[in-house]
Amino acid sequence: MSTEAENMKVTYTSTNVDMSRFHAWFDEALRTLRAQQGATYPAYIDGVEVRSEQAPIEDRSPIDAEVVLGHFQACTKAHVDQAVAAARRAQKSWRKLAWQERVAIMRRAAGLIRKQKFEIAGVMCLEVGKNRLEAMGDAEESADLIDYYCDQVEQADGFVRSMKKMTTIETNTDVLRPFGVFVCISPFNFPMALSTGMSSAALVAGNAVIFKPASTTPWTGYRLYKIYEEAGVPAGVFNFITGRGCDVGDTLTFHEGVDGVVFTGSKDVGMRIFHGLSERWAKPCLMELGGKNPAIVTASADLDKASDGVMKSAWGLQNQKCSACSRVYVHKAVAADFIERLIAKTKAISIGDPCDADVYFGPVINEAAVKTYLRVVDQAKAEGEILYGGHRLTEGALAKGHYVAPAIVRVSKESTLLREEFFVPFLAVCEVDSLEEAIEESNKAEYGLTAGLYSGDEAEIELFFDEIESGVTYINKRSGATTGAWPGAQPFCGWKGSGGSGKGGCGPYYVAQFMREQSRSVVVEK
Ligand code: UN1
């Protein structure tokens, strides 16, 4: 890829980019990828290609379920044992490297992601159904995550720190050291950024990693493996296992040779890992789980901004983000006006093949997601009112993929549709009498990831910051009410059922969580 293409940076909030050149480079990447469609890919254990005897996993595109993007290995328990053994061996020399060398390797990986970002983004269009800009944001975020985590190690001087002396004959040092082997399990929705963020933090801290991508996004995972390999991550330090969650998931996370788990995904699976992980002693379990992220629109809000921000956060990636806005609490006085604007903006979005340059809204990931969508729409019909959408889309080429119309529904505050996470394009709107009521209702969900407020009143903003039970908060953000966190800018810490450790990815305390303390006291008697 040309340096010019490499230097064009698109984030989730970019506006001033030369889009014609962006799309030309994107088209070229998609042509290259389509020529590779249908290939068979190995898993990698200890730096060696591995093929399973089980029938391979077919990686099908959500855009057209007939299209098989690639065939991936269905790894078994035996592969997991091999990967754990390899990782334990390789981790010893990886942790002994000077931290500066690990940082240099990881920074090389960030550079390679930037070089290949149009292809990486293209894979995500085809494999996840992301639109071009969302896919590029995901690729760029991955590279920035690595750099940000490397900065953390540098700023902390490799996490070695001199401590107080209690006598004149002793020297005391505090050293953060890696736990050992981390299992990294990532979801389909940000298959590059979340996989890279979790694994790079574990690696730069000196751990070895066994990485299992979501079974719907192994191709993106494979690209990440290849990047680390090319960057110089030694054999066995990063292992790539593909397979069905039900076959290898538990064997991997609960393996006795595993020292910790870093997981992003649903609350149910996360809590199961959390409870099952620590049998012999407490092991670190770093989790970013789901969300049911509210936007609150008060009577003092700028409704143009609010409807833009909610529209973008609700329909970006078809609402399949932990950070997506899936419920709105709007003050009665402005509800009719806000809803009218939101529906007009929702109607205006282009739906179709997300590989096309002008499409904003693509398919959902699979048939199970379509079923969830239809089920919750039925519930909304019974409990409230459908304001927009609510059906499957089957016109023309859409019939081949998993397409549904964005749904906006009105429900009263008792509805469970305001508290359960569905991960499909379904937005529940509820009218309230005050900001206090909106916050109280927001906090009733078990989740606490992101939340947005639209208000023109300083006192309202202060109250929101103080009372809302969410780790990521946004005020008056037009480019996304609840979405768009960036490494080093918005730490992404889930509260309550949305997280575990109280310190999030993208934030300044992330890398240290992959390490344990060792106090070193040396006594020299004169
Ligand atoms: C997710 O929402 O699943 O904040 C991950 C955002 C992105 C993605 C976070 N950084 O919207």
Task: Check whether 107 has a pLDDT greater than 70.
Answer: yes
- What is the residue type of 28? E
Distance 229 CA to ligand 1 centre (A): 26
Distance 284 CA to ligand 1 centre (A): 22
Structural domain boundaries in the chain: 3-289+503-519, 293-487
Mean pLDDT, residues 199-228 taken together: 98
Nearest C-alpha to atom 10 of ligand 1 is from which residue? 485
Nearest-atom number in ligand 1 for the CA of 323 is 2
Mutate to test the pocket of ligand 1, among 483, 490, 498, 510 (most ligand atoms within 8 A of CB): 483
Other Cβ atoms within 10 Å of 525 Cβ, number: 5
pLDDT digits (tens, 9 = 90+) for 310-369: 999 999 999 999 999 999 999 999 999 999 999 999 999 999 999 999 999 999 999 999
Residues 6+ positions from 270 with CB-CB distance below 8 Å: 263, 287, 289, 500
Nearest-atom number in ligand 1 for the CA of 480 is 11
pLDDT digits (tens, 9 = 90+) for 168-184: 999 999 999 999 999 99
pLDDT digits (tens, 9 = 90+) for 263-314: 999 999 999 999 999 989 999 999 999 999 999 999 999 999 999 999 999 9
pLDDT digits (tens, 9 = 90+) for 234-245: 999 999 999 987
pLDDT higher at 155 or 16: 155
Mean pLDDT, residues 87-98 taken together: 98
Return the pLDDT at 15.
64
CA distances from 358 to 17, 20, 194, 355 (A): 15, 11, 26, 9
pLDDT tier for residue 85 given thresholds of 50, 70 and 90: very high
Is residue 322 flagged as an active site residue?
yes
Mean pLDDT, residues 450-458 taken together: 98
Least confident segment among 85-94, 106-115, 248-257, 372-381: 248-257
Query: By percentage, how much of the chain surpasses pLDDT 90?
Result: 95
Task: Check whether 100 has a pLDDT greater than 70.
Answer: yes
Task: Check whether 129 has a pLDDT greater than 80.
Answer: yes
User: Whose CA is closest to 228, among 203, 205, 246?
Assistant: 203
Cβ(259)–Cβ(283) under 8 Å?
A: yes
Mean pLDDT, residues 36-56 taken together: 97
Mutate to test the pocket of ligand 1, among 492, 498, 506, 510 (most ligand atoms within 8 A of CB): 492
Return the pLDDT at 306.
98
Nearest-atom number in ligand 1 for the CA of 450 is 4
Mutate to test the pocket of ligand 1, among 322, 421, 470 (most ligand atoms within 8 A of CB): 322
d(CA 453, CA 175): 41
Enumerate residues lining ligand 1, CB below 6 A: 141, 189-190, 321-323, 483-485
pTM over 0.85: yes
Find the catalytic residue in 127, 134, 229, 288. Answer: 288
pLDDT tier for residue 16 given thresholds of 50, 70 and 90: low
- CB-facing half-sphere around the CA of 117: CA atoms within 13 A: 32
d(CA 497, CA 289): 7
User: Whose CA is closest to 378, among 424, 342, 343?
Assistant: 424
Task: Check whether 17 has a pLDDT greater than 80.
Answer: no
Find the catalytic residue in 125, 184, 322, 506. Answer: 322
Is residue 288 flagged as an active site residue?
yes
Distance 486 CA to ligand 1 centre (A): 8
d(CA 274, CA 293): 23
User: Whose CA is closest to 484, among 286, 190, 200, 115?
Assistant: 190
Q: How high is the mean pLDDT of the chain?
A: 97
Least confident segment among 1-10, 18-27, 299-308, 443-452: 1-10
Distance 141 CA to ligand 1 centre (A): 10
Q: Judge: domain 293-487, CATH 3.40.309.10.
A: yes
Cβ(346)–Cβ(390) under 8 Å?
A: no
DSSP-derived letter for residue 492 is: B
Task: Check whether 371 has a pLDDT greater than 70.
Answer: yes
pLDDT tier for residue 103 given thresholds of 50, 70 and 90: very high
Distance 323 CA to ligand 1 centre (A): 5
Least confident segment among 5-19, 76-90, 434-448: 5-19
Nearest C-alpha to atom 9 of ligand 1 is from which residue? 323
Return the pLDDT at 345.
98
Q: Judge: domain 3-289+503-519, CATH 3.40.605.10.
A: yes
Task: Check whether 164 has a pLDDT greater than 70.
Answer: yes
